[in-house]
Amino acid sequence: MTAAFLFLAAFLACAVEAVEAATVVVAVGLTRSWSSSLRGVLLGVAALAAVVGALGPALTRVPLGPLRLVVGGLLLVFGLGWLRKAILRASGYKALHDEAAAFERQVARASGAPGERRGWMGGDSYAFTLAFKAVLLEGLEVAFIVLTFGANAHDVPLAALAAGAAIATVVGLAAIVRGPLSRVPENTIKFAVGVMLTSFGSFWGAEGAGARWPGSDASLAAIIPAVALLSLATVAYLRGVRQRSIDRSPTGAAA
């Protein structure tokens, strides 16, 4: 049961980060230079591997209780942040994330930037740098997800497998589409990730503080649906508040 939740949470969270990195890489690749973009990707992956290689073993040696308390708290903070934005988007208080629009913005920026050449790169430095930064920054978030989820659940290989599957899926889609991954339901995925991170953060944080959940890991089967239902109820409430506000406004009444 826990293994399935772990795989799903890591897969969805890593897929979101991979979509955002792929959007940047494809945009600068199509607009500027595929060779420079791919060199940036490769160097970003190498730098990321070095960071993970240095920090990963150290994290797994931390005692489980303090690790769960700290990581659970961090996941709860991140999860609530994702969930808050997802609820605001779903209820109409915040614009939905538009991957096609993000792609167009990246294309516009890439088209207007100067095409400099620098030393050993022998290509477009703008494409190289942007691809490198996208892979490294989004990759660090993927590494955080894998190491924290895996270390807490005593199953880093499973979390890494989920991350690899998510990245392979997104890269495959990007290679086929060679454009914005606008068909990926990113807003729905972010909502689900917010629910999963909040649930795991609550679970691990409480365990790290010394609490014991009924049924141990099996309690996640109740925590995750409870967080999801509470979030959906909040969306419904906020939609109602927003609609009543629109109905009371002069423009709403006239419509």
The pLDDT tens digits for 61-79 are 666 667 677 777 877 888 8
pLDDT of residue 226: 93
Q: Could you give the percent of the chain with pLDDT greater than 70?
A: 77
**How many angstroms separate the CA atoms of 170 and 164, rounded?**
10
Of residues 89 and 2, which shows the higher confidence score? 89
- Return all residues near 87 (Cβ < 8 A) that are at least 6 apart: 191, 231, 234, 235, 238
Of residues 118 and 101, which shows the higher confidence score? 101
- Checking if the pLDDT of 110 tops 50, the result is yes
**How many angstroms separate the CA atoms of 236 and 19, rounded?**
28
- Checking if the pLDDT of 179 tops 60, the result is no
- Checking if the pLDDT of 227 tops 90, the result is yes
**How many angstroms separate the CA atoms of 250 and 255, rounded?**
9
DSSP H or E run through 165: helix 156-177
- Return all residues near 164 (Cβ < 8 A) that are at least 6 apart: none
1 is written with which tokens?
Answer: 């049961």
Ranges of H-type helices in 61-155: 64-90, 99-112, 125-152
Q: What is the pTM of this model?
A: 0.65
Phi, psi of 15 (to 5 degrees): -65, -40
Name the nearest CA neighbour of 99 among 107, 91, 109: 107
- Checking if the pLDDT of 107 tops 70, the result is no
